[in-house]
């Protein structure tokens, strides 16, 4: 039993600790090319948060990892079989309920570990921050914490070489042989501003990619995944520690 994982701990142990920071991993349930599980983002959120929390805990940070929320914003994938969409307005209500508990019980810091590109918690946290002025509300995207180019050859943002390598390291029994994977080729938008990334519109997933992947996964290896996992969990472990230890009344220098 790891004392910093809420789902594993118990009523006897939990009362020994005054937690400084609650960590909420947040995933999505969606197709990941032909070769990876629907729970890919959940598995990543779970295992990255747990490992990073262990690193922070060892250094003396009192963190507690809440169970992973399994559903994300999948509004662009309404025609992909069993991609489960949770609307942003629902996410706001879920967050409100969790923050209400933390605030009432005196755990005044929350960090969301986001594992899915379609989730965007910033505007929700801005709004809830007004309602809960004693709370420090924060979010991070683990997939942006380390420069991917230093670890992987092919770019991508969904079921790509990076995600496939990670899962080959973490849960190899849930990844089909790479000969089963599609090439993850995606079509680019015809509007230049959207292509350049400074303008935005929802991607209609089924029109952008045939295999649901974005990025060629076929150069993925477990070794690449392990190195990357170590790099991101060290980075997140430091973030967990820093947020747990910072004085909420003295955060700027
Ligand atoms: Zn994913």
Tell me, in angstroms, the distance from the centre of ligand 1 to residue 153's CA. 18
Tell me, in angstroms, the distance from the centre of ligand 1 to residue 170's CA. 14
pLDDT value of position 2: 97
d(CA 69, CA 20): 21
Tell me, in angstroms, the distance from the centre of ligand 1 to residue 10's CA. 31
Tell me, in angstroms, the distance from the centre of ligand 1 to residue 188's CA. 19
Tell me, in angstroms, the distance from the centre of ligand 1 to residue 88's CA. 18
Tell me, in angstroms, the distance from the centre of ligand 1 to residue 50's CA. 18
Tell me, in angstroms, the distance from the centre of ligand 1 to residue 159's CA. 6
Tell me, in angstroms, the distance from the centre of ligand 1 to residue 1's CA. 28
pLDDT value of position 221: 97
pLDDT in tens for each of the 253 residues of the chain? 999 999 999 999 999 999 999 999 999 999 999 999 999 999 999 999 999 999 999 999 999 999 999 999 999 999 999 999 999 999 999 999 999 999 999 999 999 999 999 999 999 999 999 999 999 999 999 999 999 999 999 999 999 999 999 999 999 999 999 999 999 999 999 999 999 999 999 999 999 999 999 999 999 999 999 999 999 999 999 999 999 999 999 999 9
Tell me, in angstroms, the distance from the centre of ligand 1 to residue 231's CA. 18
Tell me, in angstroms, the distance from the centre of ligand 1 to residue 228's CA. 15
Tell me, in angstroms, the distance from the centre of ligand 1 to residue 25's CA. 14
């Amino acid at each position: 039993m790891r004392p910093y994982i809420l789902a594993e701990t118990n009523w006897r142990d939990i009362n020994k600790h005054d937690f400084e920071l609650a960590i909420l991993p947040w995933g999505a349930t969606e197709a990941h090319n032909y070769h990876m599980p629907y729970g890919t983002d959940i598995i990543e959120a779970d295992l990255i948060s747990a490992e990073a929390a262990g690193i922070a805990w060892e250094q003396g940070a009192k963190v507690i990892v809440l169970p992973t929320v399994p559903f994300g914003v999948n509004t662009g994938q309404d025609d992909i079989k069993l991609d489960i969409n949770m609307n942003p307005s629902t996410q706001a209500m879920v967050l409100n309920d969790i923050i209400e508990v933390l605030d009432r019980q005196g755990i005044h810091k929350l960090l969301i570990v986001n594992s899915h590109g379609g989730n965007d918690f910033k505007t929700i946290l801005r709004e809830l921050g007004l309602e809960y002025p004693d709370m420090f509300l924060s979010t991070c995207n683990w997939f942006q914490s380390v420069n991917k180019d230093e670890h992987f050859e092919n770019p991508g943002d969904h079921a790509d070489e990076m995600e496939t390598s990670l899962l080959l390291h973490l849960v190899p029994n849930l990844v089909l042989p790479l000969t089963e994977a599609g090439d993850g080729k995606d079509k680019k938008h015809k509007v230049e501003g959207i292509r350049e990334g400074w303008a935005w519109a929802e991607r209609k997933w089924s029109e952008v990619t045939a295999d649901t992947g974005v990025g060629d996964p076929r150069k993925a290896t477990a070794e690449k995944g392990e190195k990357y996992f170590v790099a991101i969990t060290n980075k997140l472990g430091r973030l967990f520690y820093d947020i747990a230890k910072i004085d909420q009344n003295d955060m700027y220098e």
